[in-house]
Structure 1
Amino acid sequence: MTRSVYVTGIDRGDGRQVVDLGVMELLTRQVDRVGVFRPLVHDGPDRLFELLRARYRLSQDPETVYGLDYPEASAVQAEAGTDELVSRLVDRFHRAARDFEVMLVLGTDFAATQLPDELALNARLANEFGASVITVVGGQGQDAASVRSEAVNAYRAYASLGCDVLAVIVNRVASGLRAEIAERLAGRLPVPCSVLPDEPALSAPTVSQITAALDATVLLGDDSGLARDALDFVFGGATLPNVLKALTPGCMVVTPGDRADLVVGALAAHSAGTPPIAGVLLTLDERPGEEVLRLAGRLAPGTPVVAVPGGSFPTAGELFALEGKLNAATPRKAETALGLFERHVDTSALLERISVARSGRVTPMMFEHDLLEQARAQRRRVVLPEGTEERVLRAADVLVRRDVCDLTLLGDADAIRKKAADLGIDLAATQLIDPQTSQLRQGFAERYAALRAHRGVTVELAYDVVSDVNYFGTLMVQEGLADGMVSGSVHSTAATIRPAFEIIKTRPDAAIVSSVFFMCLADKVLVYGDCAVNPDPDAGQLADIAVQSAVTAARFGVEPRIAMLSYSTGTSGSGADVDKVREATERVRASRPDLLIEGPIQYDAAVEPTVAATKLPASQVAGRATVLVFPDLNTGNNTYKAVQRSAGAVAVGPVLQGLRKPVNDLSRGALVQDIVNTVAITAIQAQTAEESA
């Protein structure tokens, strides 16, 4: 029978979408096939399902997601009774559930539904679906005593109706009351109870949502600017100096369109990062001249300037009535919501109570989820030398919102702030260091000169060298000011890893530094090594690559079964290239008899059971290899790219191995998610390095 989790509440306004999203994240971390069912739905687009479908790549037919719309359900209940309504919904649920391992059920929203005793209906549906319940309680605007009472009553209401209640989650409480509420609820319920603070960024509308709601005209701005959250509104009627004093980070400036001075002044303040604003909204159907708009566009490229025909007062009424919504067009809100959920909910305990057995398949999404979870478990600091690069800033935004690790960005601090402001990214929680002006520079120069004295490096020469962001970042790692470094989105591999070779150096148990790629296929993760560092390793180096790759695989949850690849299998071939692989295999067997290894072996015999049954029927590795070691860089690099492009695999890496402390290189074509994954891997490697030390 399909396992089902029913997320429901007791009233509207509980911000339940945060919990829906968080539970979906947990479920997709465990199993591949997760379905969604919403028993009752309002007319119009379902923003939450569209978000879930886009974010989790759901292939579910939207027709199977919904039971009935509210007017139809109300009519059925009035004419045929509650039993008939429930019967129809149960039938539609089971038709949807038969194709999935787990179902996430999104309960009714208590918003103008015209259904009597909606709580009891949710409880009965959960029971009929065989679903366990997570109930959400909204705490906005309430004191600690009231919230405690509502949470206890919510649990009792669903438990008394026969529901299997997994947890109670209190949401949207005042930040200052969160700890007190959590203390009041501790031990009061027989199930886990989590308390989430209200997060202004989640309820703040984006500039795009404001533009759509007010039917505004976009005069300036790009998609990135329109995606910014409007955290506050500042109404400009005073003189420019007074308006500048009133600006707050993320605010939207609302001013009559004929106040060109306020438009230019607000955008100049944004450009300087003091403070970054969401945008400018012009009223009274007045617009600045073309000269002013051109100047505005140069001052703050991408920052939205939009215009509405109404006056400031009626516009204010509409603005304050708007509330941000999670949907597929607001991915940054989704990251914020997930970060909030993961910070304040004991996800391991909740997952254990849900009792979903982990799928035997490991999808790319499951692998990526696990990376973030492992990195978050023991927080580390990672330094990113390419602080002004847009993809790096966007990745930093995701990592901070998901609370994955602490970050340091290197580069000109003003330039980083300006770029971040243009992208609508908040760097308040991120450390910025300019190597050119940092007080660390002199000490780093002395340290580097001492390390490279045998090469004739003086302190004066080292002072120039360490101003390079990659050298500076590597020295931060070496001196314990950061736990790892990720670079390479705009630097070559040599520029990224040469400082690590000179400063951090290899571990005592590693002969060389090598690399692996995690190749995330549709149903499994394979480890490829070495595809990025060593052009033509000899037998001893190849053996070292195999052992290091097996250790890396095991650290990231891939059971190592090593295939030493060649153009022949077993004893069928001969020649220098095959002999090198054969010797490397024997070296590994001698030094690490605990590892499963086969070689020389061809790729098809390594991964395809039917081929393996013919060529090496007695092998424990053939047909089920997970770590594939290539004989040289030419073969490995071309193979990983061929598999990536032809099979649609997600290639995570290269991940460097063999260094005393973690430094990782990015492809110059790396996407934002690639950078996020690599930073998470680096944080996990730092955890391992500390444990080993």
Structure 2
Amino acid sequence: MARSIYIAENGAGAGKSAVALGIAELLSRRVPELGVFRPLVVDADRDDTIDLIRARYGVDIPRAELYGVTYAEAAAMVADGRREDLLAHIVDRYRAVDRRCGAVVVVGSDFDDGHHKAAGGLSRELAFNARLATEFGSVVVAVVNGAASEAAALPDQARSAYHSLTDLDATVAAVVINRAPPSPPSATNQLLSALRPPDLPVPSFVIPAVATLGAPTVAEVAAALGAEVVTGDSAALGRDVLGYVVGAAQVPQVLAHLTPGALIITPGDRNDLLVATAAAQVAGVTSAAGIVLTLGIEPDPVALKVFEGLGSGLAVLRVETGSFGTIAASTRIEHRLSAAYPRKVEAALGVFESYVDGGELSRVLDVSRSTRVTPMMFEYELLDRARADRRRVVLPEGTEERILRAADTLLRRGAADLTLLGDPDTVRRKARDLGLDLEAADVVDPVTSDLRDGFAEQYVELRRHKGMTSDLAHDVMRDVNYFGTMMVHNGHADGMVSGSVHTTAATIRPAFEIVKTRPGVSVASSVFLMLLPDRVLVYGDCAVNPDPDATQLADIALSSAETAAAFGIEPRVAMLSYSTGASGAGADVTKVAEATERVRKLRPDLPVDGPIQYDAAIDPAVASTKMPDSTVAGRATVFVFPDLNTGNNTYKAVQRSAGAVAVGPVLQGLRRPVNDLSRGATVKDIVNTVAITAVQAALSQ
């Protein structure tokens, strides 16, 4: 039976959806088929929590099957005296999900949203959730609203939640105090010490409140107010609203009181404030969330044209209500996590992972790790490993939008420290326009950096034999890839990732010139980590060496095996050819055979076979016929191609035809990690590559 974790909220507004998301993230690394279930939903056609977990973790069950009943249906059944029928129906619906999943996250019911009055006896929320958790066979994670009490009272609240649930025969695995008042580590440790056995016999965690998580976006404010969007793209509408300022005073006074992230609410005829806010935003004087024009007044067309021409990145909304009514309605709006706002999701996960010990929580939840490795499990394992030994990665393409979005995600998840290269004003402005928080990143301009002269002198010494001069070297250090590589070479960064707008040659040439290969490695090479639906394979070399000789091919195999092992993949190396064993002959087959023998001599402990055809390497049925005594055939995890033509075409064919996720190319054999991106790389690809680079950096120390 699937392992089931029931998230029960002790008091409304505790943020159980964010905790459920964090637990789903944790479980997704251990089981390939994750499920989600809600006993009651408000709307049969939409539930933000179900939709988010279903979309993010690939839950392959129709959303209509992932809940018990609606509140209205529950109320009707209770009114008819059919309480037990209601419970039985919800349990039956849950069991259907349970049978199809390796683990299920159950997000408990919440009757404090106005529906409990209609549901009559169902208003006994805690008892209802405890009963369902018992019927489901779930362990419970109790979530306490840390914002509802003073910090000193939180231990009592946590103990009360635990005992209330256990008195109702629920099995409580952990208690999470969520949205606790932000406090220094010493205060948090003191709070946790008050929650240790025997006072509380289960693990407890304290997650502080983060303003941006509860803050609605401009789009959510617009929807709640029924506002017309006068101007503003998706990035402008995605800004967080951290406060409100009424634009009733003169321009200098309003701007002086404008706090970061505040939404300005002002009558529609304040064209002066409209233009001044845009100008102040562009100048970096303010950082507003947007503007709401009240009283149904259309802004002056000329003023609006000036506003748009300034390119402030702010949205303008228009409502029919007055300023007082608008701000009163706005302050009641709270953000709900949903798939529509991935930046919020990443922020919520970052906070959860920073304050909840995933290893301890996994232990008490007792979810065994699957032997299968799905792409999602592999990707999350990468982030975990990067976070565990955090390194600094330099991103030379610091003004590229995909890089900035990936940087935002990486910083929120705590996967790496980052240095972005580019003009600081340009980088910060672009980040602000995109609604991204990159304050934790360093921004360095190679053109004006104090490091440039020293890097140029070093480069002259490294390339003097090639005729390098001081003047030329000084010019070369304007190039972001050369500057970034020199940062890695000098220890200012642990690794580098580039290539989203640069060619592979432009990215890796500086690494070959400056970082160079490790001792004993004849050639730097690359692999792609091929994330198939049920496993991860390593393909090398698919990006660097056009036609390696036998010695180089052996080095590529050894480096690829090391890379596989570094990322938790047991290396079984297939040296690929158009011939299996002694079935064919020719120079290309001979090269592979010689490389195979060299690998065996250098690493007698490493399972390797070749020459071998791809089908015999991957398919057990074919292997049993062609190479029945091989320990690699049919079970290979590392595939070494004889040349770049074969490797590059094969990885792309598998990527497109099998729906595999290709992560890479990952460079190997260098003294320090430098990795290339495809120019078509997505934000997710960049996040994965930076995480891989951080892990490589930690391993190379």
Q: TM-score range by the shorter chain?
A: over 0.9
Find the aligned partners of 1:134 and 1:272 in 2 and give their Cα distance: 48
Match in the other structure for 2:98 = 97
Q: Does structure 1 residue 148 correspond to structure 2 residue 149?
A: no
The percentage of aligned residue pairs carrying the same residue is: 58
Is the contact between residue 449 and residue 462 of structure 1 (CA under 8 Å) also seen in structure 2?
yes
> Paired residues, what number?
690
Q: Does structure 1 residue 672 correspond to structure 2 residue 673?
A: no
Is the contact between residue 182 and residue 195 of structure 1 (CA under 8 Å) also seen in structure 2?
no
Match in the other structure for 1:185 = 192
Moved more, 253-262 or 22-31: 253-262
Moved more, 553-562 or 290-299: 290-299
Superposed displacement of residue 349, structure 1: 1.1
Distance change (3 Å), C-alpha of 1:263 and 1:460: same
Give a deviation string over 1:428-476, Cα, whole Å, max 9, x none. Answer: 1111111111111122222222222333323332222112111111111
Equivalent runs, 1:336-375 vs 2, <5 Å: 336-375=347-386
Is the contact between residue 255 and residue 286 of structure 2 (CA under 8 Å) also seen in structure 1?
no
Q: Does structure 1 residue 6 correspond to structure 2 residue 17?
A: no
Moved more, 573-582 or 234-243: 234-243
What letter corresponds to residue 367 of structure 2 in structure 1? V
Is the contact between residue 147 and residue 181 of structure 1 (CA under 8 Å) also seen in structure 2?
no
Find the aligned partners of 1:239 and 1:456 in 2 and give their Cα distance: 64
Q: Does structure 1 residue 382 correspond to structure 2 residue 396?
A: no
3-state SS of paired residue (1:276): coil
Match in the other structure for 1:391 = 402
Match in the other structure for 2:64 = 63
Give the structure-2-normalised TM-score.
0.96
Find the aligned partners of 1:61 and 1:396 in 2 and give their Cα distance: 33
Superposed displacement of residue 556, structure 1: 0.6
Match in the other structure for 1:421 = 432
Match in the other structure for 2:37 = 37
Moved more, 18-27 or 462-471: 462-471
Q: Does structure 1 residue 109 correspond to structure 2 residue 110?
A: yes
Equivalent runs, 1:306-317 vs 2, <5 Å: 306-317=317-328
Moved more, 672-681 or 219-228: 219-228
Match in the other structure for 1:15 = 15
Equivalent runs, 1:188-227 vs 2, <5 Å: 188-227=199-238
Give a deviation string over 1:306-354, Cα, whole Å, max 9, x none. Answer: 1112221111111111111111211111111100100000011111221
Find the aligned partners of 2:361 and 2:589 in 1 and give their Cα distance: 51
Distance change (3 Å), C-alpha of 1:556 and 1:648: same
3-state SS of paired residue (1:618): coil
Is the contact between residue 192 and residue 206 of structure 2 (CA under 8 Å) also seen in structure 1?
no
Equivalent runs, 1:649-660 vs 2, <5 Å: 649-660=660-671
> Any gaps of 5 or more consecutive residues in structure 2?
none
Moved more, 499-508 or 240-249: 240-249
Find the aligned partners of 2:646 and 2:281 in 1 and give their Cα distance: 50
3-state SS of paired residue (1:282): strand
Moved more, 258-267 or 663-672: 258-267
> Any gaps of 5 or more consecutive residues in structure 1?
none
What letter corresponds to residue 96 of structure 2 in structure 1? R
3-state SS of paired residue (1:176): coil
Match in the other structure for 2:51 = 50
Give the structure-1-normalised TM-score.
0.97
3-state SS of paired residue (2:563): helix
Give the root-mean-square deviation of aligned CA atoms: 1.6
Q: Does structure 1 residue 501 correspond to structure 2 residue 508?
A: no
Moved more, 16-25 or 223-232: 223-232
Aligned residue among 463, 476, 486 for 2:497: 486
Find the aligned partners of 1:320 and 1:23 in 2 and give their Cα distance: 30
Moved more, 379-388 or 111-120: 111-120
Find the aligned partners of 1:445 and 1:275 in 2 and give their Cα distance: 38
Match in the other structure for 1:28 = 28
Is the contact between residue 206 and residue 230 of structure 1 (CA under 8 Å) also seen in structure 2?
yes
Find the aligned partners of 2:422 and 2:605 in 1 and give their Cα distance: 46
What letter corresponds to residue 13 of structure 2 in structure 1? G
3-state SS of paired residue (1:621): coil
Superposed displacement of residue 678, structure 1: 0.2
3-state SS of paired residue (1:551): helix
Superposed displacement of residue 63, structure 1: 2.4
3-state SS of paired residue (2:183): helix
Superposed displacement of residue 267, structure 1: 1.6
3-state SS of paired residue (2:569): coil
Aligned residue among 241, 244, 253 for 2:264: 253
Q: Does structure 1 residue 169 correspond to structure 2 residue 170?
A: no
Give a deviation string over 1:337-395, Cα, whole Å, max 9, x none. Answer: 10010000001111122121212221111111111111001111111010100000010
Aligned residue among 485, 490, 494 for 1:474: 485
Find the aligned partners of 2:421 and 2:169 in 1 and give their Cα distance: 56
Find the aligned partners of 2:513 and 2:202 in 1 and give their Cα distance: 54
Superposed displacement of residue 177, structure 1: 6.4
Match in the other structure for 2:74 = 73
What letter corresponds to residue 62 of structure 1 in structure 2? R
What letter corresponds to residue 486 of structure 1 in structure 2? V
